[in-house]
A and B are shown apart, each in its own frame.
Chain A
Amino acid sequence: MNTAPASRAKSARPRIIRYQSVIKRYGAFQALSGVDLDVHAGEVVCLIGPSGSGKSTLLRCTNGLETIDGGGIEFEGAQLPRDERALRAMRQRMGMVFQSFELFPHLTALENVAEGPRTVLGNSRAEADERAAAMLAKVGLADKASNHPAALSGGQQQRVAIARALAMEPDVMLFDEPTSALDPETIGEVLNVMKALAEEGMTMVVVTHEMTFARRVGDWVAVFDVGRIVEQGPPQQIFDAPTTERTRDFLSHLGWSG
C-alpha cells in the first residue's frame, strides 16, 4: 500500500526521475513488480528494505545498466531511450556509485576521476586533470591524487568513486549501498561527503542500510519488500509513525527504536 504523501517539502520542484509501474524479471524471478516513485530536483530519496527486495535493481534500471521489462522510467521529462547512443547521453547526466567502489585499479586516483571527462566528454588532458584535482579536493583527497586504489582505504576509495561520478557534472547521483562494503570506522567519512553533497542541493537516490543517514539526510524514504514499495513518505513518517506492518517489522529487525 502506498500512502499519500504527507508532507513533501520539495514536491513543487521539477521532477527529475519518475518510475511508473516498473517491472523487471530475471528469467522466472520477478525482481520488480510495479514500482511507482518520483524524485524531485534537490531531493535525497532513500531506498531501504531487506536484501533482495529490488532496491539495487531499480537503481541499475535508472541509468539503463539493466533494461526494464514493463512500465516506464522518465528522466528529466523523457523516457529512458532503448537506443544505445541516446542511452549513453542520458547516462552521462547520472552519476553512479557502487557498493564495491569499482575504481579502475590500473589508474591513479586522479586518472580515475579524469577518465570520464577525457574519454566521454573529450576534454584535453590538462582540462580533465584540473577538473579531477578539484573533485578530489572536494571529497578531501587532494593529497591522494597519485595513489593507486590499492593504496587507499575503503572509505578513501569510495570517496574517489564519488569524485569520479561528480567529475561528469551529473544532474543526479545514484548510490548503490555505498557504505555496505566499508569498515565501520570509515563509513562516517563517506556519509559526510554524501551529506555535504545533499546540502549543496544535489539530487540523490540512495540505496542504503544506514537508517540514521536516511532519517537525517533523506527527504523521502521508500521501503521495499519483494519487488514492491510497501510504504513511502517523509522520514518522520517512515521512522516514527510507519503506517504498514511490513515497515514496522523491517525497522524492528534492524533494532530501530525511533
Chain B
Amino acid sequence: MSFDWSVVWQHRDALAAATMTTILLTIATMAIAVPCGIVVAVVRLYAWKPVAALATAYVELFRNLPLILVVYWAFYVLPILTDTGLSPLATGLAALALNVTAYNAETFRAGINSIRRGQLDAAMALGMSRVQALRRVVLPQALRRILPVLASTWVSLFKDTSLVSVIAVTELAYVAMQIRAQTFRVLEMLTAMAVIYWLLGYPQAKLVDWMQRRFAVAE
C-alpha cells in the first residue's frame, strides 16, 4: 500500500479554513454555555421551586441524550420551531450550546455548593444582598475551584464539535471527510485530522493547567 501525503498539502487552504471554523465553534459554544450554565445553576439552587424544577428538567434532559441525537434533533426541529432556515453552523452551535450548558450548569452547581456556608454568612453580615454575595464572594471562588472541570469540558467540546459534521457544518471533520471522499486518501486524511486535533487540543489543555495554577486559591 502506498501513501500520498501530498493530498493534505494540496487541500491546506480548505483544511485551514475548516480548522478555523472548529475553533470558532468551540469558542462561541463556550461563550454561550458558561454564562448560561451559571444562570441555570443559580436558578436551580436559589429560584422559586417550580422554576428551579424547570432548570433541573432541562439539565437532566440534555445531559442524558447523546450529543449526535441533539444535533440531528436541532437540524430537523429548529427550522420548524423558528420558522426560518438556520444555517447548519447556527444549528450546530445551538445543539452544542444546549448540551454544554447543561454540563456547565452541573459543574457550577457543584462549585457553588462546595463553598462553605460561612462565606455566604460573612458576605450577608456585611450587608450584601444574596446576589451581591454570589457575585462578589461565592462565584469567584467557585469559578477558580471548577476551572479544571471547565477545562476538560472545553477540550471535550473541541473534539465533539466534529459531531456537527453530520449536518454538513464545514468544520474540520466534515471538510476532511469530504476531501477523503473525493480523493480516496482515507488514511492520509484521517491522520491529518488526528494531527490537527491533537496539535490544537494539547496546548489548550496545557494552557488550562497553567491557568489553574495561576488562579488557585489557598484556603
Contact = CB atoms under 8 A, between A and B. Distances in A.
A164 interface: yes
20 contacts: A88-B127, A89-B127, A91-B125, A91-B127, A92-B127, A95-B125, A102-B118, A102-B119, A102-B121, A104-B119, A104-B123, A106-B140, A116-B128, A119-B128, A119-B136, A120-B132, A150-B217, A161-B122, A164-B126, A165-B125
A164 B127 CA distance: 12
Interface of A: 63, 65, 84, 88-89, 91-92, 94-96, 98, 100, 102-106, 115-116, 119-120, 148, 150-151, 161, 164-165, 168
A154 to B, nearest CB: 13
A243 B145 CA distance: 53
Interface string B111-155: 000000011011111111100100011001100100000000000
B127 A100 contact: no
A89 B128 CA distance: 9
B119 to A, nearest CB: 6
Nearest to B132: A119
Interface in B132-186: 132, 136-137, 140-141, 144
**Max count, chain A CB within 10 A of own CB: residue among B121, B140, B218:** B121
Nearest to B115: A105
B127 A168 contact: yes
B217 A106 contact: yes
Contacts of B122: 96, 98, 102-104, 161
Nearest to B127: A92
B127 A105 contact: no
B124 A148 contact: no
A105 B123 CA distance: 12
A120 B128 contact: yes
A120 B218 CA distance: 26
Contacts of A65: 121, 124-125
